[in-house]
Structure 1
Amino acid sequence: MDYAFDFYSVLSNTDVLIDGLLVTLELTVAANVVGLVLGFGVALLTTSSIFPVRVLSMLFVEFFRCTPAIVQIIWFFYCVPILFDVYIDSITMGIVALGLNLTAFNAEAYRASIQSVAREQMDASVALGFGPVQRTLYIILPNALRLSLPVLVTNGIGTFQQSALVALVAVQDLMYAGKSLATQTYRPIETFTAVALIYFVISFVVAQCVEFAARRYEPTSR
């Protein structure tokens, strides 16, 4: 291969990539907030004793889990304004699309954790006079968070990586910035290598920090 690598064009335009990275982080953090909160709510609905509620919530989960994220993003950006006459800025639309996708995956993680909550704890909460809301806040939620944390973190990192898809609908995230920079500098190999390394480093560091924290605060067996 007779190709001379030159990363100067990338290094001299790091401000462009940083601006894109900030948009990516904004999308990721906001989508994770949506996914963590709504995911727990949807998980509770999937375990509801009311049949229509349970079926509708399960259909929501399966729809977002069984269709490609790129299709969901494009549908939200192009179909929602046409069908519902709703026009919002592109970043907010990206947060909605990514957040709902993450909600479905987090709901499955929460649901499995909710079902594994010890029956003794639920019986004890009833004996103590806890109402449904109190049982949810003080028994179900803490246990569900603790048991599903590894999966929630994995899903969150996946959303960070999937956020690159919004570049297809002209959201100026890290991937969009990289694509623009590659076009301007005629250095696609160097540019997209730098973009890939940024995604890798952030994902790896976050995963390692969470893993360390989980080991650090894991209860010791007696």
Structure 2
Amino acid sequence: MNYHFDFSFLAGSVGPLLSGLRVTLELAIAANIIGVIFGFLLCLLAMSGIALVRLPAQLFIEFFRCTPALLQIVWFFYCIPMLLDVFIDPITMGVLALGLNLTAFNAEAYRAGVQAVPKEHLDACVALGLRPWQRTIYVVLPQALRSAMPVLMTNGIGTLQQSALVAIVAVADLMYVGKSLATEAYRPLETYSIVALIYFALSLPIAKLVHIVERRQDAVVSR
């Protein structure tokens, strides 16, 4: 291998990379907020005893879980403006596509947490005269969130990585900026290596935190 690595050209590209990183973080954080909140609501709808409520929610989950995230992003960017005759800011569209995808996966994580809530706790809610919404907010949600937390965090890492897919529709995130720099400087190895290291540096602390949360949960269960 006679290739010589040269990272010097990146010295003047720190600004664009930081700008792309900011967009990536905006996409990931906003999508995770949507996924965490609406994932639980979708979970409740999917577990409803009313078929007219349950079936559309289950269809939503299966659609987003069984189709490629890249296809979903492309569909949102090109089909929604054509169907609805509206223009939405590219970053907002990216957040919407990633957030809905994450919502479907988080709904499944929440479902496992909700099913793990002991029946005795629900019976106690009835005995105390709590209304359904009080039972959901004060008893079911905290326990389901605690049980689902490792999976939610793992899904969050996946969304951070999947945010790179918006580069295909010209959203100026970290991946798009990296691709542009690689094309301009004819240095793809150096550029994509730096971009990969940035994604790795963002994901690794969260992955380590997931392991800590899992160990603590295992310790609580084993008591």
In the TM superposition, what is the alpha-carbon distance from 1:18 to its structure 2 partner? 1.1
Which residue in the other structure is 1:175 paired with?
Answer: 175
Where do 1:50-89 residues align within 5 Å?
50-89=50-89
5+ residue gaps, structure 1: none
* Counterpart position of 1:118: 118
Could you tell me how far 1:213 is from its partner in structure 2?
A: 5.3
Partner Cα distance (1:214, 1:110) in 2: 16
Within 5 A, what are the aligned runs for 1:44-193? 44-193=44-193
The alpha-carbon deviation at position 221 of structure 1 amounts to 5.5
- d(CA) in 2 for partners of 1:151 and 1:70? 22
Secondary structure of the residue aligned to 2:6 is coil
Q: Which moved more, 1:117-126 or 1:10-19?
A: 10-19
* 2:179 paired with 1:194: no
Q: Distance in 2 between matches of 1:154 and 1:66?
A: 18
Q: 2:46, 2:19 → 1: CA distance?
A: 39
**TM-score normalised to structure 2 length:** 0.95
Aligned AA (1:164) = A
**Aligned residue identity for 2:95:** I
Structure 1 moving runs of 4+ over 6 Å:
none
**Residue 2 of structure 2: SS of its match in structure 1?**
coil
Report how far residue 216 of structure 1 moved. 6.0
* Alpha-carbon distance in 2 for matches of 1:14, 1:220: 47
Give the alignment's TM-score, normalised by structure 1.
Answer: 0.96
Structure 2 letter corresponding to 1:179: K
Per-residue deviation, residues 61-90 of structure 1 (Å, max 9, x unmatched): 000000000000000000000001121100
- Report deviation, 1:219: 4.1
Gaps of 5+ in 2: none
Q: Is residue 150–residue 213 contact of structure 2 (8 Å, CA) maintained in 1?
A: no
Hey, what's the Cα distance between the residues in 2 that align with 1:61 and 1:161? Answer: 20
Alpha-carbon distance, 1:13 to partner? 1.4
Distance (whole Å) between structure 1 residues aligned to residue 11 and residue 52 of structure 2: 56
Does 80-89 or 160-169 show the bigger shift?
A: 80-89
Cα distance in 2 for residues equivalent to 1:204 and 1:171:
24
Q: CA RMSD in A?
A: 1.5
Deviations 1:47-106 (A, max 9, x none): 100012111100000000000000000000000000011211000000000000000000
Aligned length: 222
Amino acid at match of 1:138: Y
User: Hey, what's the Cα distance between the residues in 2 that align with 1:124 and 1:63?
Assistant: 37
Structure 1 residues 110, 216: closer, same or farther in 2, change over 3 A? closer
Q: Does 1:208 align with 2:212?
A: no
Distance 1:106 1:194 in 2: 30
